[in-house]
Structure 1
Amino acid sequence: MGKSQWIAIAVTSFLLLFTYWGCPVRPPELEEGLTQAPLAATGLESLIRAARADLTPAAMATLASLEERLETQTDDEQRMDLLEQLAGEWYRAGHPAISGIYAERIAEQLSTVDAWSIAGTTFTICIQREEEDNKTRQFCANQAEKAYQAAISLEPDDVNNRINLALTYVDAPAQGNPMQGILQLLDLVEKYPREPRVYTTLAQLAIKTGQLDKAAERLETAAELDPGSPDALCPLARVYDNLGNTEKSAIFAARCTAALEEKSANDN
């Protein structure tokens, strides 16, 4: 999987994460860095052993060949290419936990915000999969936390990684601190009062808990900050429809359509 494909996965995954709720500010106790990250509950070898039963013979052969080549390859550029291929193959095979491990190895070599964000996003997809067992989900939660912390340490003002870190806490709450992600999101409102995604994320939380009036208020704020954002306009149309406000629903539905058309034209 090439760099452009990984970027596409990251963008798609951020849209997926938008349907969840949460947020983050790096806790003071984590300032010492990645050495304080939680211990992994499992590892690559055990995950691969468990995944073999789900693989087709063709996939098994491809992955075995890539792993063998990786073990014998000494050229750094070639090793990076093999790591990307392994991450991509395991992702397509439906095993984001294993894909995330290879993405993490890439990030350790590149040490860039994008690479760590991709690793974190891949582990987050693992957390959100209902078919994953608790041990695997906990492993993915720990590794996602580590990856987002690394991305934040490289670019502290990137609010997206802070939001996605808290999604980890929301999807896999720490024992004894189930409100950690939500509280961090509320703190982000104070720290980033003009960041639209903070409000759209909070709005998704309100929608999930049936607080539609509060969701509308937060989405209105996001729309004021970014008038052409489909992430604010399109949910607003649905929220007002559910509230029975057909006039406002129609207004925001039209703005949503226009925003999506403009985005499509710009992408092309």
Structure 2
Amino acid sequence: MIKSIRSKQIILIGAIVLLVAFLFTRDIKGLVKPKEEPTAGVPAGGQMPSEAPSINLDEVSTTGKNLLNASLAAEITSLENTFKSASENKKVPAAKLLAQKWDDLEQAVPSALYLEIVATKEPNLNNWLLTGEKFLKAFDNTRDSLLQPVLLQKANSAYTNAVAADSTSADAKTGLGITIVNGMGAPMQGIAMLMDVVKKDPKNLKANMSLGTFAIKSGQFDKAITRFNSIIAIKPSPDAYFYLATAYENLGKNDEAIDAYLESKKLAANATLSKFIDERVTALKTKK
């Protein structure tokens, strides 16, 4: 019986991973339990290797430009040439322009690398937060097992620098906690950091969302339900309802799951999500 329930959970979570990877905002991570399906490149214990491969900006740029039309690729090349030839006091504005351009094109990796250049040259809380956030977004988006460790390490480094700049910053602590739980250290250390943020700021959505998704990934569905209900009470969102529905479904609370799925569908107003949710709702209704 237990084995059957566990198998059902694995299948359900696998389906959600595919949906989340394709559909939701970049802040949402997949829902694979680490012990069931460890991320490629991450040891079984969940910690990233201490030595991750480096990222070559020129190679990343070339790869990114190959995905663009000729006009946009030429525009990027022109901006890059301006950056490379700029005097030292003009490097930062040129790097900021490239970071924004890559971000506009939904390419987080090169954007993050240019933000890192900005933060290195002008180290302050805001610049390190922007850098960490972009590297974390890139980590969330990529399915490249060789790229994931270095993106997470860079996010961790950026948030570490942000905490050093302001040890009271909730954003810095939240970002650092997320990187630690994802593999940059002992998971409980990261959880403790996030819990400390929530203790001081109960309405901190990012920290609460991270704790909720980590609860789901570790199979603590009751805790996830409590967490996501709290998030929804603060600010309803399609991803919060979606995760809430996932937790309910894994506990066999089908009526509650259906209600949460439908709220997610209504708020997201996305055709792909609507199709997926309609299929889930139909499946759940047949189990009644």
TM-score bracket, normalised by the shorter chain, equals 0.5 to 0.7
Query: 2:87 & 2:61 partners in 1: Cα distance?
Result: 23
Structure-2 change in CA distance of 1:149 and 1:237 (3 Å): closer
Q: State percent identity of aligned pairs.
A: 17
Structure 1 unmatched ranges of 5 or more: 1-14, 22-36, 258-268
Write the deviation string for residues 33-65 of structure 1: whole angstroms up to 9, x where unpaired.
Answer: xxxx96752321332344443332212211221
Structure-2 change in CA distance of 1:131 and 1:58 (3 Å): farther
| Contact 2:156/2:179 (<8 A) preserved | yes
Runs of 4+ in 1 over 6 A off after TM superposition: none
State the TM-score, normalizing by the size of structure 2: 0.59
| Contact 1:100/1:119 (<8 A) preserved | yes
Structure 2 unmatched ranges of 5 or more: 1-24, 32-49, 267-288
Alignment partner of 1:216 is 2:225: yes
Alignment partner of 1:230 is 2:239: no
Task: State the partner residue of 1:193.
Answer: 199
Please report how far the alpha carbon of residue 66 of structure 1 lies from its aligned counterpart in structure 2 after TM superposition.
1.0
Alignment partner of 1:98 is 2:110: yes
Task: State the partner residue of 1:47.
Answer: 60
Query: 1:124 & 1:16 partners in 2: Cα distance?
Result: 9
Using CA pairs below 8 Å that are at least 6 residues apart, which structure has the higher relative contact order?
1
Query: 1:97 & 1:240 partners in 2: Cα distance?
Result: 31
State the TM-score, normalizing by the size of structure 1: 0.62
Alignment partner of 1:70 is 2:101: no
Please report how far the alpha carbon of residue 132 of structure 1 lies from its aligned counterpart in structure 2 after TM superposition.
3.0
| Contact 2:102/2:110 (<8 A) preserved | yes
Q: 2:27 aligns with which of 17, 25, 32?
A: 17
Task: State the partner residue of 1:58.
Answer: 71
CA RMSD of superposed structures (Å): 3.9
Task: State the partner residue of 1:206.
Answer: 215
Q: How many residues align?
A: 216
Query: 2:52 & 2:142 partners in 1: Cα distance?
Result: 22
Query: 1:85 & 1:120 partners in 2: Cα distance?
Result: 18
Write the deviation string for residues 218-262 of structure 1: whole angstroms up to 9, x where unpaired.
Answer: 346x46xx9544369857974786464969x989x99xx9xxxxx
Q: 2:157 aligns with which of 146, 149, 166?
A: 146
Q: Secondary structure at the match of 1:17?
A: coil
Structure-2 change in CA distance of 1:63 and 1:16 (3 Å): closer
